[in-house]
Every structure is written in C-alpha cells, then in structure tokens.
Structure 1
Amino acid sequence: MTILYKVQGVCGCKEGNVLLQNSVLCRISKKNLVVFCVHQNLHSQLYICDIVKPWQNYKICSSKAVASVLEWNPTGELLLVGYKHGLAEIWGMKANCMNSWFLLYTVNLPCEEIINVKFFHNSKATYFNMQKKDLQNYSDKYERLDQRPTLAYFGCSPVEGCFLLTASGLMGVFTIPRISMNPESSNSASPSELNIFTNSIGLSRCFITHCSISYCPTGRFNVAINNWSEPRISCFKIGVEREQDDTLNLKCGAMASIFLQRADNENKEISVVHWRTVNCEEVAFVVYDCIEGSFIEQWNLIKKHQQVHKLLQKNKSDFMQWEQWEITAKLSLTSRVCDLSLSKLPTESLLLFAILRDNSVQILETGLKKIGSTVFERVAEDQMRAPCKLLTSDCTHLNQLLILFDNLGQMYAMQVPTSHYDKNYKMSPLAVPVCLLEYSVITGIDAADVLMLNLSHLEALTEKLTENFSRQTAYVRHFYYSNFLSLKSNICRIQTKQQDFDDLITLHAIAIAFKSLLRPSDLSSQDKGPAENLSMILSEPVGDVDKVLCVLDAKDFTVEPATLQSLQQLIQWVSDLALNILHKLTEDVLKPKFNKRHGYEICRDVIAVSSVRELLVMIRIWGLLNPHCLPIYTKSVDNFDVLPVMFRLLTRLMQNTSEPDDSLLDECSVLSTQVLVPTRHINTPTTLLNSNATSKLFPFVFQTSVESLNLQDVHYEEVLFSHTIKDDVSNLHLGTHQHVLHKEERQQATVLEKEEILNCVAPTSWENSPTMATTSPACNNLSPISTPSLGNSHTSNLPYYVLNGEVSHLGIMSSKRPNFKSRLRAVHHDAAHPTAIAGGAGNSTNNSPGILSSTHC
C-alpha cells in the first residue's frame, strides 16, 4: 500500500491552526471529484478538486452554519450539503465547470440537525466479478444487479430525490424536478425551495447520535440508528410511496435490533455504525471505543426457523420464520478509530478502511480479516505546530484510491491493494486493471485512479482493452463507442500519440452532428436515410467527388445557408484534418520501418478515413448552397482546387491504409508545396496522468495552487506562439489579448465568453452537446459528462448520443433561442497559426464565426 501524494494547505488552514474531530467532511463522486468541507473560525468552507490535479481546488461556497453531511447523487452531477440547523442545499455545476457552481434548490427543516442523507437509487448497478474475467461478451462478464429504483414514474423511470434523517428521529423525503434549473437564468440568491414530507422513525421519535443509511435491492432504505446511552442498535426498512395527490408517504418497517450483552456494554461507547447489503446478505459493522482502544464487530442478519407447537400446527412441517442478528467476527485494535469507510465497488467482498488515532490505516475485508495496513509519518512536534492526526477518509468508486484528510488541512491519497479480487494476481497482474477499465466503459465511472496506478503498463492495457472491445457485437460497440474513445484517448494522451486520438473523438462528434442536419426529401420512398446512402455509395473506391455528387439526391443534403455559415469553423477543422493526414502520411509510413510503432495513428484507421471522405462530400454539396461556408486555404497556385484532390488521395489511402503505394506518398509530399498545411495544436495539461510521473518516486508533495514543474510537458517547437489563445470547441483563434473569464472545466482550462451572435442553433447545440464535454484535447475526463436537454422535443431535433449507458440529448433546433450564448473557450498556451495572429482574430470578436475562421490558414 503506497502513499501516492500529499497536498499541503488544501483546506486553507493557516500555520498553527488545528482542526478538531468531525470538522472535516469529504465525499468522492463517480467522476473522481473530491468535495470536502472544513469547519473553521465559525464558518464552513466547501471546496472541490480532482484526484489527478489535487493541488488545484476551488471554493464552492462559504456558510456561517456548520455543515454536517455531504452527498453526491448517483450520476455525480448534483451535490447535497446538509447543515446542523436543518437546511439542505443542492448545488450544481455551470456548464460542467468545476470552479463555477450555483445553488439549485433548498430544503428547510427548522431546528433540526441533519445527520445523514441519501439520494434515491436509479436502479442502475453493475456487479464486478473477477471470476468471469475470461468471458468474451460484456453482458456475460458484467451482470446488472437486480436493483429496483427507490421511486419510479410511469414506465419505471426513476425519480430523482433524496431521503434524510435528523438527530431527533425525524425522516424527510423530497423529489427533485426532472428538468434542472437553467444556470444562466437562475439566481443564486433565491433558489427554488422544495417541498419536504416528514414522518417519525419508529413509533416515537428519539435522540440519534449515530446512524447508517444504505440501499436495499427492493428499492427501500436500510436505516440503523443508535443513541450512545442505549446498548441497542435499532434497524428499519424505509419505503417511499407516491400518493394520488402527488404527495410522498414514508413507510417505516421495524426489523430485528442489535442488542449488546451487558457484560460487553461496560466502558464501551458506540462510535461508528454501518449497514450494507453484501451478496444478498445483510451485514452490519459496529465500532466501539474503550479505554484500551477500539473493537470492530461484524453482525449478520440470520433467518431462523421455529417449529410450531403441535396444538397449533396444521401440518407437521409448519414452522415460523424469524430474523436475528448474530455476531460473526470481532477485531480488537490498540488505538481508537477516528473513521470507518467502506468500499463502493459491488463485488463479492467488501473492504473496510479503519482510520486510527495513531495515524495508521487498517484495511479489512468481510470477516474482519486484515489484508493491509499503512502508517503515516508524524509531523515533528514543536511549539508552533501541532502533531498531524488523520480525521476522515473516502474511497473512489473503483476501489483504487483512498483519500484522507488530517487535522492540519492536508489531503493524502493512498493506494488500495487489489490482490483480494483475484487469487492469481501475481500470475496475471494486468487482469484486474483491464477488467476495471472495461467496467468504467460500461458504467461511465471515471477511471483516472486506475490509470494513475498503471502508468508503466499502459501499452499492454491498451492492446488488451482494444482487443476485447473489438470482439463485442456491433450494437454493443456502437453503444459504448463514445465511452471507449474517451478512455482510450486519455491513455494515448499519457503516451506519445495524443493528438491522433483527440482528432478521432472530435471527428466522431462532428460526423454525427453534420449527419443529423440531413433530412430526407421523401420518407415513404426511401428505406435508408441520406447518411446511410452516402456511406453505401462511398464504400466503392470512387476517386472523383463530382461523380459522387451526380449519384446523390441534392434535396436530401439541403441545409439552410445561415446554418452552414455558422458551421464554417467546423468545416474548416475537417479540411485541416484531411490535409494533416495526407501531409504526415509519409512520415507515419516510414517511421515504423526504423522504430516500433506506438499508440494510435489515424491515417491507418479505415473508418476514420472513410468518415473524412463522407464529410468532404457533404462539404462539397454545401459549398454549392453557400460558398461562404467552404474552408479557406492558402495556396501557391490560384486555380488549384484543394478539396477534390484531398478526396482523391484519401480514396487511394482507404484502399490500403497499412501499406500505401509509393505514388500516393509522392503526391502527398508534393501537396505541402501547393497548399499551406496548418499546424496542429498540442496541449497537454499538467496532471498526474503524465508520463513524467512514472519515473518519480512516491509520495509526491504538492502545495495548494502551485503547479508541479516536474509534471509539465513543454513542446519546444511551439514555444514561439505560446501566448496565443485557441478555441478548440469552435476552432477559432482568439488572438493574444482576450479579456474574458477563465473557468476550469473538469481538468481543462476554459474561458467563458458571452457575445452577441445570430439566432442560429447549430453552433450552440454543438458546443453544449455531451460529446464535446470530452472532445477537447485539454480534457482528461474519462467519463462523458452528460448535459441536460436544452428545450422540449421538436421534429427538428438533433440526434441522441449514447453516453454513460444512457441517452443524452445533443440540443434543440428551435428559432426561439436567446440572442446570446455561453461559450466554453479552451485556453491554449501552446501553438497558434502565425497567419491567424497577423489577421487579428482576437480583435474581431463581434464578427460572425465564419469571418473569424477565415484567418485560420
């Protein structure tokens, strides 16, 4: 068990200030975002950071009230903060920006102390079983658990809501509207207040000091409560039902309680209670504090049968079934337990992380068997600084990292052992990481913690992951294609071939967005749509693009000229990509003859080359409708038509991508003398997912807001233009002087700019699409971030994207849109085109997108 890094001053604590017990709270979302709250100087400060950029944290809010609980929703998009005076707040990110949060909803229970909360379950849970690692199909290897939603609409659609419990024994439940508030129109000073429905737990309310809330497979909540003065842990099953008048009703069912023996109750105080369902078995963990140290007990709910008396039984086999808690394991520790956290990955074994006051971490599995331990170094005690003591912890959703906080406001990351998943771990050490990466592709959970611990084996992981993905059926590959590309792009970003996979993701998004604009002229006479017909026609090696136009029906490719003009920068990107593929073809072919080929090469991908050919045909047709939407070239000969030449060369390349003929390589070499090939931008953000981190020794020591120089990548060939700004989402050069607001978008430096534009929905839908949340080269997000729908449904809607196992809407083509938009501008401090700088693209922010992009080449 290795300590990966330590971040000093992460909570803003000054020298000499010490945090008390229960003054730090932390929770990790499925996107590996760490939110933590510090109560200091009569204020609660709420921060957030990423596990791959722990030195960069952002403040969400500050409150004079004391925060008592933090909780993420199942998708990791909403954050609930509960306070001791009875207020609960639900926060959300603005346009997926980590440093921009707004208050969505509030729930108020006056004079009640909220001690625990839990969001409704959405019935989506996948079991991770290493015993099925040799199976080929994802559906057989990763089975979906039989989990019902807590509350469902008509058609079994899960309801978004939350269940909370107060210290006085009051239960509360409320639902969250399906359509979230618009962050642009919402006012943080007056958020919407939700109605809450309450009921008492049990027959009468009682004072609660410790409680545990977990999910039940039937959709109900398992709740265990305890009062420190009573030697009993009461257990309940709470169900949520909807009445006819849209009110919610809480049904509380009492279960068998855990009673402590009188002899064991002396000089013991319960400090932690956890109740979980493990492999369809109810398991409870109880921690006691005593003078000698601590005790951890494991209790199992056992079903017993009692024979009915002869006078009352009808048959001899009649019996009564009843349940009873029985202690199955007990462990004594020499130091008191500060915190006990449980693993989150659904497996056959459950991991327990016991944080002790002697700065040690004990890792246990079901049955309280020790599988590892780590002792953190103490800070030297002097007059100005107190000793370092661990306070709280939380585990990532893939059980790879354990995040801890101490009383000095320092954050730690510790590796969790994975040997318990597979008995033959030493024989095949990459089996567990490969299965975890496949699990992240299926579930959409961020896999940054897995990659961080396997930086030296990325090439083998990539080959195995790609091989297993190619064996899946066509519809399975199509369903998880976006998640797979996002994960593989991050793996290639750590290696040398970063740019090609970033281009592939952007090409995939642009192809879907462009094809969504096509509308067939006659639905009754066509079996296939315009995009399918184009793909079928281009399957044949036709090198003349004008001959292809003669076969197609021009009515199927008709798009409004204003829409085409707004998409000019994306058309320019496709043309630049085609030029770069042909320009670097000679280098990419000759390089493997001398060195071993590493990573992904887009010029050898037949599907990518075919997609570029299809887009070039569409651009050729659209150029006849609106010549201003055509890409701009800098040519040495005026009468040289670039687009037909690129189409002809790509057609020849598609016929044999593995070994192109020499004549094709000669023509590609001459192409750079006829037209200026734009330089591709490389922007590698400074994160722990970096090849430089493999040669360093753990642990890293970071300082808050100070970027480590050892992890930075410098591209010396592009230092000359390192001060220019490039918009990767819209493919625009913004110049060198831009007075805009910088924002952090999930491990990516971005800029938020509001500008007056034409009422055209296509670029707005493109920039707000869920696919573009992962297409920018500077983004290290491993799971696509879904974006809420932008309006109601119309017949002119853009298509649906399959992301995270769900269907997320790309956008709405409606003319009733506001006259401004929010743009996420990716800030590139790398290269930019010298012609764009000279053209002054940064000083033309009021021009149309098409005019701005004309300075690209």
Structure 2
Amino acid sequence: MELIYSMRRKLLKYEPPHFESPSDHEVVRPICTISTCNIIAFSSPTELDDTEGDTWGGHVYVCDLDTPWNCHKVTSTAYPVSALEWDMEGKQLLVATTVGDVSVYTQKDYLLNEWTCLYTASFPGEHIIRAVFFHNGRRLVMVDKKPDAPITERIQMLRSTPTLKGFGGVACEGACIITATGLIGVLTPAEGGRAHVATDCLRPTRDHITAASIAHKNGSLVIAAVCRSGGSAGRWCVRCVCAAVTSSSPAPAIALSPLPTIYLPQQDSQPVSITWCQREDTDSLLIAGATLTMWKCTERAHQVHKLFAKGPIQGNTTPGGGPKPVTDCFNTLVWQKTVAWGVEGGEGAVCAASSRTALGAPHAVLATPRALHLLARDTHHYLCSRAVITSGGISNAVEASSTPPKKAKYGTTPSGGGCAMVSCVEMSQLGGVVLAIDTHAQLHLYKLPQPWADIPTPIAVQHATNLLEYAVVSGYDCLDVLVACTGSIKHNILEMMYERLTESFQRQPAAFQQYYFHSWLKLRIALCRLIPSAQSSVSWLTCLQSLQACWAAVSLALRPDDKPDAAPLAALLDDHSHEQDKTLLTLEAKPDAISEAATLQPLRLCLQRAIDIGLTALLSLAYQHQHQHQMHPNNYEVWADGAAVQLVRRLALAARAGGRAADALLRPLARLAAPSTPRQELIEECLSLSTQWTGARVWESLPRCNVAAPHGNSWPLYLEYGVEPEALRYNPEPPGYAQCETAPSITMDAIR
C-alpha cells in the first residue's frame, strides 16, 4: 500500500474543543465515497477556502480522482452531513444530514461543476447514519475460465431482481436510509421535486443506533445496525434485518424480516464501524472496535428427536409416511465469528472498508486515527500498515502564512495539520485504490497491491487485464486500476497490458467486437495516455474516434431512402460490400456522382476536420519514411489501419459533395488503400501535399495536468485544494509533420 497523493487545505485558526478527540463518537466528522466513475464525493464542516470558521455546517464537494485539486461544491447545508452515497451508475448522489433532510443530486449536462436536485425527502428529528440506492437488477460476475476463453464466457451478466419493480418488472429508482433511532425509510422520486416516503422501525422499541451498513441480496436489502441491547447497561449487539420493498400507490411499501442478531462479547468496547464485505450478494460482516472481527452468516442443521420433526413420524400409515431427513427439517441461520484482528499501535478503530466486488482482491482496510492497516480476508493476516501524515508537504507554508486572530473564536488551542485524524475510509469499485479523509477534510489516496505485493509480472498483467475487460463490459471507470499500475516498479507493465488487451479483444467474436468497439477504443486511449512513448498513438486513436463520430453524422444526413438518385449514396454507405474499393474508385472518378451539398452543409466543420486528419496521416507516412523511423509494434497509425483509410476516403467523398476541397486527398488515399501501389510514388505524392496544401495539422495528444500523466514525478504527491500543480503538467511535443502555422487551439475542457 503506497501513498499516491495527499491533499492540503488552509486550516482553521481555531477549532471547536474536542473536535479531534477519537473517543467522542457523537461528533459528525467528514466522510467520503467513490463512485463507479471514480468521482470522489466528500463532506467538510467548513468551506475549503475558509480559515476564519465563518461557514460551519455541512458542505459537499466532488472531484475527479485524477485531478483532486479541482473541487466543486454540490450543496451546503446548515447542519452536518452524515451520509453520502452514489448510485450504481455513478450519476446520482444522495446527501443526508443529522436532522433528517435527504436530497438526491445529479450532474447538469454531465458537468462536474453544475449539479441539480432531483428530489428531496424529510424525516424530521432523525439523525440519518446510512443510505443506499436501490439495485437496478444488472449484475456482472467473473466465471473461473481459462484466460484464453471468450469474454462472453468469462464475464456473464446475471439478471438479478431489482430492489423495486415497476410496470413490466422494470427497475425503479429510489433509496433506503436508516437513522440513529432505528427508523428505516425508503423514498422514491415523485412529481414536484418531493419524494414518496415509507417508513418502518427496526424494532417496536427504538434503539440508539451508532453505526450501520446496507447491502443488496436477491432483490432485498440486508441491513446491519449496531446498538446496545437491554438499555445503557446491556451488551453491544448487531441487529440484522432483511427489507423488501414493493410498489404501491402512491408511496412504496416496506416489509422487514428479522435475521439473527450478533451479540458481541461483554468485554468488547463500543463498535465504531461495520461494513459488509461486498456490496452485493454477501454474507460476511466486518465489525470494527477495539478489534476487527469478521462474522459469517451460515445455515446450520439442528438435530432433534423424531417426535418433534416435521411431517409424519415413522410407522405412520398415511401415504408417504416416514420421517424427513433432519437437515431438511430444521435449518436455521447463525452467525459465526471467522477471524479477529487486533488493532496495532494501541489505538482504537475509526472506520473499516472492504472490497466492493468479488472480482477485486479480498482486502479489508482498517483505519485508526493515525494509520491505515491493510488486511487479507482470506489468509487472515496483516499485509501492511501505513501512517497517515496529515501535515507537512506544501501545508507548512500555508500554516506559516496564517496569523492567529486577536480573540479566540472557539477556545485557546490553535489548530494544526498534526492534530487531524482519519475519520473515514473507502475503497474504489474495482479495488485499485483506497481513499481516506481526515477531520480537516483532507483526502489521502493510497494504491493497493494487485492482487498482492511481490506478484510475478505475468500474473499481475493477467489480473489487471481481467479487471480492464470487466470495466469494458460493465461500463465502470478503470482509472483506479490504471493508477495502481502506473507507479509499479515494472515500467513495462502498461505496455504488456496494452498488448494483451489488444490481442484478447481481437480474438473475440465479431458481434462482441462491434458492440464494445468504442469502449475498447476509449480504454486503449486511456492506456496510451500513461505511456510516454505512446503519445502519438493517443493522437491517432482519438482521431479515429472523431472519424467514427463524423461518419455516423454523415450517414444520418445522407439518408438515401427518400432521394431519387439513391444508388450512389447507397454505394457509399454500404459497409458490407465485397467490392468496396471498386465502388469508392468509381465515386472518386465522378465528381458529380453525389450532390448533397444542402444536407451536408451543417457538417462542414467536422468534414473539414476529417480532411485535416487524412492530410496529417499522409504526412505522417511520408515523415516516417523520410526519417527512417521504425514503427513500434504496439503503436497505432491511421495510415496503417485499412479500415481507417477506407473511412477517411468515404469522408473525403462526402466532404467534396459538401463543397469542401478534398480532391487532392482522394488520389493518395486510393494509392494507400491499394496493396500493389509502389511505395516510393506514394511517398513522393505525400511530400508534394505538404508543400501544396496549407491546411491545419491534427495533434490530439494535448497538454494536461493530472496525477496519472507520465510526468515523471515520484510518489507521494502533496497537493493543495484550488491550486493546480505546475509540476504535474505534461505537454507532449508534437512531431514535425503535425506542426504548422494554422495548428488548432490546444485549449479544451477536461474530458475523461
């Protein structure tokens, strides 16, 4: 476990007394969570740029895992934020407070800095401690197969039962919450921004719940809550229930079924955190307190006398008489403690987290006020421990520049980075990184071993490739896995992953390749962005993505069905013709074969972009031949891809029909597509284009500033909120063929 980066902020000059006391479990401290898109959401008691303590309350921020200094506020509340939760697709964010207010937000136009509230609900006077969104009924599992087996056999989709079914069995949106008094509530969106609410109690008598965890299992919600049985003098226990949500008019209905209760030993102190080992279909529970224990729910058969067995007894004259097997009669659910870890360092636990899916390594993370401990759930061993440094780095200058106020606002003890302690820990969806947040709302990101430390390179490549293939099929963001592989001692592991992933995808059936082509293309771009020697491939793969999007728009604009001269259009749009090259040669020889200037005029900019890409590809061919550059086997070039060359030819024909000057490109592109064209004649024609054509050159590997860029800086990184680190800026130098006076602007929004 290695620290990747640690955030710093301008600290408050004075803080409330006992805010940093680890023994006060009633204080609401900052919390954090990571979505399946690797977007971090975290809470802060004050605004991040506040140093005077004038904004005490609850503030929710989001940031990308790759650019944590760019934090954007989602909302601010008057009371502390006690629960944060992402939905399964990473699109909606639930925010709950200590006074029972629940709000669900989503991005506006997919922008990270603009959020809108979808619906709200209120549970007056209730301190909400945990929340979860309903399951959408879509679940992917990895089956134990040989690595060379098709992905469709290794990764299978299970049609799980959604938490709430609508008309026709379609999954409905909604969320479930549990409060500190044992109230369980469900809410579903309704008109007017208010939610339909249904509630039930964990027990007829209210309990004081200190921690809770919710997981999905077979279309129901499994809820575990920590409370004290028998009043304040009783033993600590974990009560478990199974909640089934059904649709009714107008609000949903909730039904609770009790499960066995875990009674902790009398000498155990108060548990501070519980978490299910996985988010779906799990039966193991982690309980953190003075020790970290793992409990498993199993079925156990109880042998009783045959007189008490179900069914007819032995000797009965009724048909089918005879006792039933004992195991079929009395099976009950029981909790069994499987392992207990002592907390190292003499400190009590603060929070615990576990891997979310069965695909990731079986890790568990235990957070203490000053350290993180990585544990193995299968071998029951401590793997490593890392101290969490909440001060130092760039924050020394920040602390030195601040002067104490004339009058203390909350006491006489000034705050400092060293007094902050860890308050929450969370693991990413694919298990690549673990995120911790301290009481000053400073984020600390750690890399997790994949799947364990000192693993041989072939096995590490195999495991990482499986995770990337799972991300392609499931739609999850794989940045956490890529970041975990970036800092590896094995420098060529990314290139080996790229090669193995490409070979694996090309072995898949044609239908699979067609359906997941764009996801695979985006993953190749993401991998090449991390390799310093593959920045040219980043540019050309991005160009291929642009060509595909442009051709989709042109195909919709032409629409040959409703035109009298539809034969040339149908020939141009036919992707399955065996004589495609002859068809393109015929259309290239007849300038007036396609006359669609009016319908293609709105696409003139993207068609011009396609022409510029074709010109740059031809110049790249001439440049490499002129300078005797050897093409790397894993590098990608548009001119070396036959399908991409045919796509550029089609777009050039469409551009000519739309009134763009593309005639000069048609002849060299046709020569490039012909397998028997003399190489030297093609090179000379491409070189003549560089002097005759003054069009813009295309270079898509743009400058960027992010953690995963190949900038060469060693870990850990100490960053500050709101300050873009110049040391992480990476500016790939474009080659000679991509440099010209009319190069496009390199300024663009951050898109990942």
Q: Same fold (TM over 0.5)?
A: yes
Match of 2:92 in 1: 78
Amino acid at match of 2:323: K
Whole-Å Cα distance in 1 between the matches of residues 684 and 474 of structure 2? 46
Match of 1:470 in 2: 506
Q: Which stretch shows the higher mean deviation, 468-477 or 659-668?
A: 659-668
Give the aligned CA root-mean-square deviation in angstroms: 3.4
CA shift, 1:727, in A, is 7.7
Indicate yes or no: 2:42 matched with 1:36.
yes
CA shift, 1:25, in A, is 0.9
Whole-Å Cα distance in 2 between the matches of residues 176 and 101 of structure 1? 17
SS at match of 2:695: coil
Change (3 A) 1:689 1:287: closer
Indicate yes or no: 2:365 matched with 1:353.
yes
Select the residue among 127, 141, 156 that pairs with 1:127. Answer: 141
CA shift, 1:367, in A, is 6.2
Whole-Å Cα distance in 2 between the matches of residues 531 and 237 of structure 1? 59
Whole-Å Cα distance in 2 between the matches of residues 163 and 332 of structure 1? 33
Judge conservation of contact 2:571–2:583 (CA < 8 Å) in 1.
no
Match of 1:703 in 2: 720
Select the residue among 615, 632, 648 that pairs with 2:651. Answer: 615
Indicate yes or no: 2:726 matched with 1:686.
no
CA shift, 1:467, in A, is 0.7
SS at match of 2:4: strand
Q: Number of matched residues?
A: 681
Select the residue among 665, 672, 686 that pairs with 2:683. Answer: 665
Match of 1:652 in 2: 671
Judge conservation of contact 2:375–2:382 (CA < 8 Å) in 1.
yes
Q: How does 1:270-669 map to 2 (within 5 A)?
A: 270-276=271-277, 282-288=283-289, 294-313=290-309, 314=312, 315-318=322-325, 319-333=329-343, 334-347=346-359, 350-366=362-378, 368-377=380-389, 379=391, 385=416, 386-420=418-452, 425=456, 428-455=459-486, 456=491, 457-494=493-530, 495-497=534-536, 498-521=538-561, 532-533=573-574, 536=577, 539-541=580-582, 544=585, 546=587, 561=598, 564-591=600-627, 593=629, 596=632, 599-621=635-657, 623=658, 630-631=659-660, 642-656=661-675, 661-669=679-687
Judge conservation of contact 1:538–1:614 (CA < 8 Å) in 2.
no
CA shift, 1:530, in A, is 6.6
CA shift, 1:126, in A, is 2.0
| Deviations 1:725-766 (CA, angstroms, capped at 9, x unpaired) | 9689xxxxxxxxxxxxxxxxxxx953xxxxxxxxxxxxxxxx
Amino acid at match of 1:206: D
| Deviations 1:113-143 (CA, angstroms, capped at 9, x unpaired) | 22211101112222246x5361331112223
TM-score by length of structure 2 reads: 0.83
Of all paired residues, the percent bearing the same amino acid is: 22
SS at match of 1:517: helix
Judge conservation of contact 1:519–1:530 (CA < 8 Å) in 2.
no
Judge conservation of contact 1:535–1:614 (CA < 8 Å) in 2.
no
Whole-Å Cα distance in 2 between the matches of residues 479 and 598 of structure 1? 23
Match of 1:215 in 2: 216
| Deviations 1:75-100 (CA, angstroms, capped at 9, x unpaired) | 10111101111111111112221112
Judge conservation of contact 1:518–1:531 (CA < 8 Å) in 2.
no
Match of 2:694 in 1: 676
CA shift, 1:72, in A, is 0.5
Change (3 A) 1:701 1:618: same
Judge conservation of contact 1:549–1:617 (CA < 8 Å) in 2.
no
SS at match of 1:668: helix
Match of 2:402 in 1: none
Whole-Å Cα distance in 2 between the matches of residues 38 and 654 of structure 1? 59
In structure 1, list runs of 5 or more residues that go unmatched.
Answer: 182-190, 289-293, 624-629, 632-641, 729-747, 751-777, 782-857
Match of 2:254 in 1: 250
Amino acid at match of 1:712: R
SS at match of 2:574: helix
CA shift, 1:491, in A, is 2.1
Amino acid at match of 1:266: Q
Change (3 A) 1:146 1:660: farther
Judge conservation of contact 2:61–2:74 (CA < 8 Å) in 1.
yes
Match of 1:236 in 2: 241
Indicate yes or no: 2:18 matched with 1:14.
no
Whole-Å Cα distance in 2 between the matches of residues 725 and 81 of structure 1? 45
Amino acid at match of 2:729: Q
CA shift, 1:534, in A, is 5.9
Match of 1:842 in 2: none
Amino acid at match of 2:5: Y
CA shift, 1:196, in A, is 1.5
SS at match of 2:85: strand
| Deviations 1:39-94 (CA, angstroms, capped at 9, x unpaired) | 24531121111111122212222221221100011110111101111111111112
Whole-Å Cα distance in 1 between the matches of residues 709 and 470 of structure 2? 22
CA shift, 1:205, in A, is 4.0
Judge conservation of contact 2:361–2:451 (CA < 8 Å) in 1.
no
Indicate yes or no: 2:171 matched with 1:158.
yes
SS at match of 2:581: coil
Whole-Å Cα distance in 2 between the matches of residues 715 and 329 of structure 1? 51
Change (3 A) 1:592 1:196: farther
Whole-Å Cα distance in 1 between the matches of residues 444 and 640 of structure 2? 43
Match of 1:143 in 2: 156
Change (3 A) 1:71 1:278: closer
Change (3 A) 1:22 1:595: same
CA shift, 1:16, in A, is 5.4
CA shift, 1:17, in A, is 4.6
SS at match of 2:704: coil
Amino acid at match of 2:298: I
CA shift, 1:346, in A, is 2.4
Change (3 A) 1:587 1:220: same
Judge conservation of contact 2:61–2:71 (CA < 8 Å) in 1.
yes
SS at match of 2:440: coil
CA shift, 1:13, in A, is 3.5
Amino acid at match of 2:324: S
Amino acid at match of 2:122: N
| Deviations 1:504-525 (CA, angstroms, capped at 9, x unpaired) | 11111111222133434279x9
Amino acid at match of 1:60: V
Whole-Å Cα distance in 2 between the matches of residues 275 and 716 of structure 1? 48
In structure 2, list runs of 5 or more residues that go unmatched.
Answer: 21-26, 47-52, 313-321, 397-412
Select the residue among 114, 129, 133 that pairs with 1:115. Answer: 129
Change (3 A) 1:436 1:698: same
Change (3 A) 1:587 1:411: same
SS at match of 2:70: strand
SS at match of 1:53: coil
SS at match of 1:372: strand
Judge conservation of contact 2:11–2:415 (CA < 8 Å) in 1.
no
| Deviations 1:639-663 (CA, angstroms, capped at 9, x unpaired) | xxx5233122212212249x96111
CA shift, 1:551, in A, is 11
Whole-Å Cα distance in 1 between the matches of residues 458 and 692 of structure 2? 56
Change (3 A) 1:357 1:425: same
Amino acid at match of 1:45: H
Judge conservation of contact 2:359–2:430 (CA < 8 Å) in 1.
no
CA shift, 1:157, in A, is 2.5
CA shift, 1:537, in A, is 7.1
Judge conservation of contact 1:210–1:226 (CA < 8 Å) in 2.
yes
Judge conservation of contact 2:554–2:600 (CA < 8 Å) in 1.
no
